[in-house]
Amino acid sequence: MTATFDTDRMAAVIYGSEKLASRRREISAAVSRIPELHDSRPLPFMDRLEKVTEMTRKLAALNKHLPDIIDPNDYEEGLHLYHEVMGMEGHPLALHEVMFIPGLIGQGSDEQYEKWLGRARRREIIGCYAQTELGHGSNLRSLETTASYDPSTREFIIHTPQITALKWWPGALGKSSNYAIVVANLIIRDRNLGPHPFMVQLRDEETHRPLQGITVGDIGPKMAFNGGDNGFLGFDNYRIPLGNLLNRHARVEEDGIYVKPPHAKVGHSAMIRVRSHMATGQAWLLAHSLIIAVRYSAVRRQGFLEDKTREVKILDYQTQQYRLFPSIARAYAFIFCGFETIRLYDQLILDVNKHGNTSGMADLHALTSGLKSVVTYQTGEGIEQARMACGGHGYSMASYISEIYGVAIGGCTYEGENMVMLLQLARYLVKSVELIKNGKSKELGPMVAYLAEPDTQEKTPLELKDYVKLFQMMSKRQSWKATERYLKLVEGGVSRDVAWNKTAVELTRASRLHTRLYIMETFIRRVSSIEDMNLRMVLRDLVNVHVNYELLDCGIYLHDVSLLDSIKNQLYSSLHSLRPNALSLLDSFQFSDIQLRSVLGRRDGHVYENLFEWAKSSPLNVSDVLPSVDRYLRPMMEKAKL
Ligand SMILES: CCCCCCCCCCCC(=O)SCCNC(=O)CCNC(=O)[C@H](O)C(C)(C)COP(=O)(O)OP(=O)(O)OC[C@H]1O[C@@H](n2cnc3c(N)ncnc32)[C@H](O)[C@@H]1OP(=O)(O)O
Ligand SMILES: Cc1cc2nc3c(=O)[nH]c(=O)nc-3n(C[C@H](O)[C@H](O)[C@H](O)COP(=O)(O)OP(=O)(O)OC[C@H]3O[C@@H](n4cnc5c(N)ncnc54)[C@H](O)[C@@H]3O)c2cc1C
């Protein structure tokens, strides 16, 4: 089936410009010509040490070839090159680019840029972001690592008071990084001023051995990311100079005077940055799994429909389309949301760093708290459906889908556990409803203005905008219902904390609906702005699938049977009309075979031959008879014969 649109032009929509889309193709082509940038053998056949070694080997090779392939100062080109070569399982520089450098930019002063930023960019040093501890991750107020100021030597003494204070989880901390941005409680004259970011050298730059007073190592295998070394880190009264407090926002003078930051949370910028980028990163992971599943579904034949002479492609089953196509819509919707949040983050950093203007922080915190939670959860659901849609071969590591799942689903936990972040957004929604109740609707932020709109009369929806209005009213009602439930408890004498906890499930439901409304409206807004008619037509099909699927999935108006039927009928006909374009919508992401790392998803479609070759290369097939059979099984069977 030929697509009704140009996939290169769709790639330009996905990546934001024709230039970047074509540069991505050139970079992938360049990588395909350099064998030392390829996996030396399939990653699923490697144990953890082999995998970490392989990632380190490739990283060094990439660093060598990088100047010949990309503009080293072009962030987007670098991001694609890393994804192409390093894949998704983690590597020594994974957090260096994602958190260490952005943390330095967000928190460091111009002098500290001079000292560390250039060195970090040239990769003379490798860094990570060490905040989470063995005993605390969500509740930052209870972090235990201390940084006590000693005015007599003008130093901070970093210390791990007890085992629960060990830094635990930070990516690339265990064996790779020789520096870290360490988040520790700033203590001045016994006064705890809360978590602050400090630049700390962990290892000797020559020998890479841990410095005196530092205990550091790897936390062991995880569900995924096993090419990376998430680590633990402990301090024994470890001294660092006064100038190592990253002091763009908060400062300590030599005599110990503390100058507080313009906003209590301005030190959280590294987290906000990752959350702002997660919608895009998760969309790519979802699209990875979908292109594998849809390519395979276009090859795999199983069972019959009307033509009894030839088995049907499983992509022609309505259930297969229902399983996969709503996630294709979500992948596009998440990409468009990602453009928004990255733009908002870049603007915020400029406002804060250049003008000390923190007014955009609350909105972006609320938006990214909800978005990272909904996007990561729905991405995980979509990847799991993609795996199941491939039957047995989806369950094989040859499909690579379970690795993609493990990486993606980590996002439900890192950067703020989803439940915790949904409740952060709920704070914002409750405050907004209270503003309206107090006659201050004018103070509402643009993202919550709809909460003040009167309920529309439920007329029979005829157009897309009517269906979106239905969803908007449902979201509004949930925010009001949850807020009033909470306020009723408070007015009844229940403390705010207890009332909050007793309403928490309803509050998180309000956060999810609010976020899903934002995703839907962003998707529609972006599609409506696309000039190329062919692109806009097929993306409208995706929007129709998305809106109707969301309405059904959120259980809207289940009491109104005729409305329910019309939503279902629209969804099923949208699935059918998407069928001819489904594969091309995913081909438009232009992932190379190297980047997909999936035998099932290869462009050549020779699934069975490729699967057989892959299986034969398994280490277990090096010999016909395994040593363990000779050593244990054969004696056991011989004995049974006596
Ligand atoms: C995909 C491939 C990738 C591949 C790459 C993979 C990379 C993996 C990287 C993972 C890295 C990590 O996980 S790094 C570690 C991530 N850790 C986290 O995210 C920790 C999550 N916890 C937190 O952020 C915090 O504890 C909170 C926000 C949940 C609670 O903080 P709190 O200080 O107790 O604040 P709280 O009392 O709740 O709220 C007080 C007021 O502050 C506001 N507030 C709180 N935080 C912020 C903020 N950042 N910006 C603005 N405002 C804020 C609240 O809205 C509230 O306003 P008002 O209501 O009073 O007006
Ligand atoms: C793959 C991966 C990479 C990571 N990389 C880094 C890194 O580079 N740097 C770093 O500093 N950290 C990193 N982390 C740590 C991560 O940020 C934390 O795991 C995360 O913040 C959650 O904290 P926690 O694990 O302590 O869970 P807890 O905070 O102990 O929460 C456990 C559970 O308790 C419940 N809960 C907790 N608080 C609340 C609440 N207020 N309301 C309702 N329910 C609640 C939730 O169900 C939650 O899942 C990484 C984690 C993973 C999995």
Residues 310-344 have pLDDT tens digits of 999 999 999 999 999 999 999 999 999 999 999 99
The atom number, within ligand 1, closest to the CA of 268 reads 49
CATH number of the domain where residue 376 is located = 1.20.140.10
Amino acid identity, position 560: D
Binding-site positions for FAD read 132, 171
State how far the Cα of 442 lies from the Cα of 439, in Å rounded to an integer: 8
Q: Is the CB of 424 under 6 A from ligand 2?
A: no
152 — pLDDT class (breaks 50, 70, 90): very high
Chain length of the chain: 642
Q: Is residue 71 part of a domain?
A: yes
Q: Ligand 2 in contact with 284 (CB < 6 A)?
A: no
Q: What is the DSSP string of 241-301?
A: EGGGB--SSSEE-TT--EE--SSTTGGGHHHHHHHHHHHHHHHHHHHHHHHHHHHHHHH-B
Task: Say if CB 358 and CB 351 are below 8 A apart.
Answer: yes
Closest protein CA for atom 10 of ligand 2: 170
309 ligand 1 Cβ < 6 A: no
Cβ 195 under 6 angstroms from ligand 1: no
Q: What is the CA(534)–ligand 1 centre distance, in A?
A: 41
Q: Give just the sign of the alpha carbon dihedral 347, 432, 368, 401.
A: negative
**Claim to verify: residue 398 and residue 271 sit in the same structural domain:** yes
What is residue 168's three-state secondary structure? Answer: strand
Q: Ligand 2 atom closest to Cα of 139?
A: 29
With beta carbons less than 8 A apart as the criterion, state whether 563 and 557 touch: yes
- Which one of the ligands is nearest to 177 CA? 2
Strand partners, 148: 157, 187
pLDDT tens digits for range 533-557? 999 999 999 999 999 999 999 986 6
| 428 CA to centre of ligand 2 in angstroms | 21
Task: Give, using CA atoms, the residue closest to atom 14 of ligand 1.
Answer: 415
Number of domains in the chain: 3
Catalytic annotation on 550? no
Query: Domain holding 68: CATH number?
Result: 1.10.540.10
For residue range 449-476, what is the model confidence (pLDDT) as tens digits?
999 998 876 667 778 888 899 899 999 9
pLDDT at 2: 76
**217-268 pLDDT, tens digit each:** 999 999 999 999 999 999 999 999 999 999 999 999 999 999 999 888 888 8
- CA of residue 415 to ligand 2 center, whole Å: 7
pLDDT at site 234: 98
Binding positions are 132, 171
Atom of ligand 2 nearest to the CA of 135: 26
Hey, which of 99, 176, 420 would you mutate to test ligand 2's pocket, going by the most ligand atoms within 8 Å of its Cβ? 420
Which one from 415, 463, 506, 613 is the annotated catalytic residue? 415
Instruction: Look at residues 370, 392, 416 and tell me which one is the last residue of a structural domain.
Output: 416
183 lies in some domain: yes
**Distance between CA 210 and CA 206 in Å, rounded?**
11
386 shares a domain with 293: yes
* Per-residue buried b or exposed e for 356-369, using 16+ beta carbons within 10 Å of the residue's own CB: eebebbebbbbbbb
Query: What's the number of CA atoms in the CB half-sphere (13 Å) around residue 473?
Result: 13
pLDDT tens by residue, 348-403? 999 998 888 998 999 999 999 999 999 999 999 999 999 999 999 999 999 999 99
Q: What share of the chain in percent tops pLDDT 70?
A: 99
Give the phi and the psi of residue 306 in degrees, each rounded to 5: -70, -30
Same domain for 252 and 291, yes or no, is: no
pLDDT tens figures, 582-623:
999 999 999 999 999 999 999 999 999 999 999 999 999 999
Residue 268 alpha carbon to ligand 1 centre in Å = 7
* Nearest partner of 258 among 103, 184, 151, 130, judged by Cα: 151
Quote the ipTM score.
0.98
Region 497-504: what's the mean pLDDT? 98
pLDDT, tens digit, 9 for 90 and up, residues 120-145: 999 999 999 999 999 999 999 999 99
Q: Ligand 2 centroid vs 140 CA: distance in angstroms? A: 10
Domain's final residue, options 54, 70, 105:
105
The ligand with the least distance to the CA atom of 131 is 2
Q: Are 327 and 286 in contact (CB under 8 A)?
A: yes
Q: By CB neighbour count within 10 A (0-12 exposed, 13-18 middle, 19+ buried), where does 564 fall? A: middle
Whole-angstrom Cα distance, residue 201 to residue 214?
Answer: 9
- The angle at the Cα of 278, spanning 277 to 282, to the nearest 5 degrees, equals 130
Burial 398-433, CB ≥16 within 10 A → b, else e: bbbbbbbbbbbbbbbebbbebeebbbbbbbbbbbbb
Q: Is 261 in the pocket of ligand 1 (CB under 6 A)?
A: no
Same domain? For 303 and 164 the reply is no
The answer to whether the CB of 411 is under 6 A from ligand 2 is no
Q: Are residues 257 and 309 in the same domain?
A: no
* Mean of the per-residue pLDDT values of the chain: 96
> Does 155 share its domain with 230?
yes
How many angstroms separate the alpha carbon of residue 414 from the centre of ligand 2?
A: 6
**Residue 110 structure tokens:** 């111009």
Does residue 22 fall inside a structural domain? yes
373 lines ligand 2 (CB under 6 A): no
* Same domain, residue pair 308 and 335: yes
Ligand 2 mean position, distance from CA 562 (Å): 44
Give the Å distance between the CA of 569 and the centre of ligand 1. 41
Q: Among positive and negative, which fits the CA dihedral 332, 337, 340, 342?
A: negative
Residue 446 confidence class, pLDDT cut points 50, 70, 90: confident
Same domain membership, residue 256 and residue 274? no
- Ligand that lies nearest to the alpha carbon of residue 141, given by its number in the listed order: 1
Same domain assignment for residues 177 and 207:
yes
- Closest residue by Cα to atom 40, ligand 2, is 420
In degrees and rounded to multiples of 5, residue 414 shows phi and psi of -70, 160
Does a structural domain hold residue 7?
no
Q: How high is the pLDDT of residue 455?
A: 83
63: in domain: yes
Name the residue among 542, 596, 603 with its Cα closest to residue 325: 542
**Is the shortest distance between the CB of 219 and ligand 2 below 6 Å?**
no
243 and 288 in a common domain: no
% of the chain with per-residue pLDDT over 90: 92
- In degrees rounded to 5, what are phi and psi of residue 387? -65, -50
Ligand 1 touching residue 132 (CB < 6 A): yes
Tell which residue, 382, 378, 380, has the closest CA to residue 291: 382
The reply to whether 273 and 345 lie within a common domain is yes
Domain-embedded: residue 140: yes
Task: Give, as one character, the DSSP assignment of residue 122.
Answer: T
Mean per-residue pLDDT for 81-92? 97
- Whether residue 233 contacts residue 165, with contact meaning beta carbons closer than 8 Å, is answered with no
Separation of alpha carbons 67 and 593, rounded Å: 23
In 16-73, alpha helices (H): 18-32, 48-69
Residues 312, 304: Cα–Cα separation, whole Å: 5
Q: Which of 390, 416, 442 corresponds to the end of one domain?
A: 416
Q: pLDDT grade, residue 530 (50/70/90)?
A: very high
Residue 377's domain spans which residues? 267-416
In this predicted structure, the answer to whether residue 559 has a pLDDT above a threshold of 80 is: no
Q: What is the CATH number of the domain that holds 151?
A: 2.40.110.10
What angle do the packed helices 361-388 and 496-528 form, to 10 degrees? 70
Name the closest-CA residue to atom 31, ligand 2.
138
The closest residue, in CA terms, to atom 45 on ligand 1 is 265
C-beta 416 within 6 A of ligand 1: yes
pLDDT of residue 629: 96
- For residue 380 and ligand 2, the question of a CB distance below 6 A is answered with no
